[in-house]
A and B are shown apart, each in its own frame.
Chain A
């Protein structure tokens, strides 16, 4: 028992010294963050921004989930969200419902939908980085692609 406690404490203290540079990202698993959607490459920034805001409203309108992080690159839209704890049993169903309705409503766009914490974490981190003017869109795109790849990877 003692050793179990020691191990738990070890992990808690380890996660204290985080390597993440941004402030908001590490807390995004515990807190509801409501990040503003980001755009990486876009020809019509104004239109796209309002489109993303609409999508965020739609996604957060679902009562099974809370908190959505959205990022758009070209015509790929990555939607990461957190499912309410007791709804986690229906995770697959929610994902399908969400994807179907988004694809139906915004037919020109390609959606990548994920309820994975890791994807959420990475998207929030991407948001944070893009606030920095030194962070150029090439790097952002690279990170975006990495996230998409991670989402597709399975056990």
Chain B
């Protein structure tokens, strides 16, 4: 591998020169945008939660499931209409971190590979971006649950 550890002096020198010309990421601006857009998503989510509490027999506890489903459905529509990627370029983490970002990752991959057919295209590529989130999410949840069980049995908590 052309590992980053063994840079030659030439490479070092060039990278310093190149750094000078590189456009920096506008971190502060990105943070502010992410904050507002992410907050807006959560506002919509909260509105949907109240919708389910008011009109259906859901409590605050149980309303979260249909809310998540609805948010993902909205993300699906926005992805399909080609709005979500533009929103993502504007908001960055603001649209990637909420559950809608996860939905977008799955749906965009599914749309992209539609041309390769349903089984080998959509089926096998749908989770190519989101798959690692699922794997490591489930795995870390398992580890934490295991630790908690052990600690409770030992009487620590």
Contact A151 B59 (CB under 8 A): yes
Contacting residues of chain A (82-119) with chain B, CB-CB under 8 angstroms:
116-119
Question: Which applies to chain A's interface (DSSP): helix, strand, loop or mixed?
Answer: helix
Would you call A8 an interface residue if the criterion is a C-beta within 8 Å of the partner chain's C-beta atoms? Answer: yes
Contact A153 B47 (CB under 8 A): no
Contact A8 B44 (CB under 8 A): yes
Contact B47 A150 (CB under 8 A): no
Chain B's nearest CB lies how many Å from the CB of A91?
A: 10
Would you call B14 an interface residue if the criterion is a C-beta within 8 Å of the partner chain's C-beta atoms? Answer: no
Cβ-closest chain A residue relative to B58 = A118
Contact B61 A12 (CB under 8 A): no
Contact B51 A15 (CB under 8 A): yes
Would you call B40 an interface residue if the criterion is a C-beta within 8 Å of the partner chain's C-beta atoms? Answer: yes
* A18–B51 CA distance with the chains assembled, in angstroms: 10
Would you call B54 an interface residue if the criterion is a C-beta within 8 Å of the partner chain's C-beta atoms? Answer: yes
Cβ-closest chain B residue relative to A11 = B47
Partner of B87, one of A1, A26, A121, A153: A1
Partner of A7, one of B53, B63, B65, B74: B74
Contact A153 B61 (CB under 8 A): yes
Residue interface bits B31-62, CB-to-A below 8 A is 1, else 0: 00000000010011001101101110111111
**Residues of chain A with a CB closer than 8 A to B62's CB:** 153-155
* A98–B77 CA distance with the chains assembled, in angstroms: 45
Contact A119 B59 (CB under 8 A): yes
* A16–B55 CA distance with the chains assembled, in angstroms: 11
Chain B's nearest CB lies how many Å from the CB of A97?
A: 19
* A15–B44 CA distance with the chains assembled, in angstroms: 14
Chain A's nearest CB lies how many Å from the CB of B141?
A: 15
Contact B54 A15 (CB under 8 A): yes
Cβ-closest chain B residue relative to A114 = B59
Would you call A31 an interface residue if the criterion is a C-beta within 8 Å of the partner chain's C-beta atoms? Answer: no
Contact B59 A118 (CB under 8 A): yes
- Of A12, A20, A155, most buried by chain B (CB within 10 Å of CB) is A155
Ranked nearest first, the 10 interchain pairs of A and B with the lowest CB-CB distance are A118-B59, A116-B60, A116-B59, A118-B53, A11-B47, A155-B61, A11-B51, A155-B62, A117-B60, A154-B61
**A-binding residues in B (CB < 8 A):** 40, 43-44, 47-48, 50-51, 53-55, 57-65, 74, 77-78, 81, 83, 87
**B-binding residues in A (CB < 8 A):** 1, 3-4, 7-8, 11-12, 14-15, 18-20, 26, 29, 116-119, 121, 150-151, 153-155
